[in-house]
Structure 1
Amino acid sequence: MSTLIEKYKGIHPGIILERLLNQKGISQRPFAISIGEYPQTINAITKGKRKLNTALALKIEKKLNLEEGSLALLQTYFEIKEEKSKLEQNTPDLTLLRKSLFWDTDISKIDWQQQSIAVIKRVFERGNDIEKEEIKRFYKSARIKEALSNETRKPYAIYKNNENV
């Protein structure tokens, strides 16, 4: 078991299950029926969309002659990896950003790294000085220049007699 755990630690057990079934030439549907589960359940697990509970892990391990607890441990290590990545996700100081700035989304669910360009553009278009400073601190100047350099839209400005006020 230790080799299986060390080799696949942090990977969703459903992916390992799919590999094992493919290696043995077993289709998911007949396998699911043979252990008394819905095929949709096994499919969702092999796609990594659903957790593998302990009872089901024991059934699968018994049917595939795996060491007891190996898939359940893989699920636990996968959940640990997920939690660590959540804790390590850097976020700007949300107390300095108005929620109304992100009116169309849940601010707690923003992926600040993946959606950095959209966040930077929005804050620099609609944010106040405090919010802009927080985004500058969080993203650093190189990323901000990159995000704003592709901006074709001019910032809001008031014009009076064709002169910028």
Structure 2
Amino acid sequence: MSDQTPPPADPAGHPPAPPRPPQPAPGAQTPPPSGPPAGGAQSGHAPKPSTSFGQGFFGALFDITFRTFITRRLATVFYVVGLVVIAIAFLGYLIAGLVAGFGAMRFDVATGILLLLGTLVLVPVLSFLAVIVLRFWIEAVVALIAVAENTGRTAENTESV
């Protein structure tokens, strides 16, 4: 057994700080770091800038080589347009269901009440599910484009073997 005891904690109850690594003497040369350079590149060259954000929107839109993607830039627009379409459909189905329910009450009260309740329950639930599906598809496409962009950057930054 050793006779070493841990240093006491300070009065505030904090544990002692870990020991610092030894510092080189002033004027001494430090060896170069081993391993690949910072940034993940295997060569000493700086990584090339990505072309996916360097072009303007119309330059990327008319890029016939498809080296730049516009999907990430348009994802917000697609989502907002999809939400507007879902909201319009929600209002249309809600109004149509309410009109049908009140119209059916003239002939059969029970059928009219069932139509009204069905409309008030199903239309919001189905609209909510439509928003979830819209978000899912847009996120899936954006994630796929992000994978493609990152793969392209990785290929640019690695040298051929």
TM-score band by shorter chain is under 0.3
Larger radius of gyration: 2
Higher normalized contact order (CA 8 Å, seq sep 6+, divided by chain length): 2
Higher helix share: 1
TM-score by length of 2: 0.24
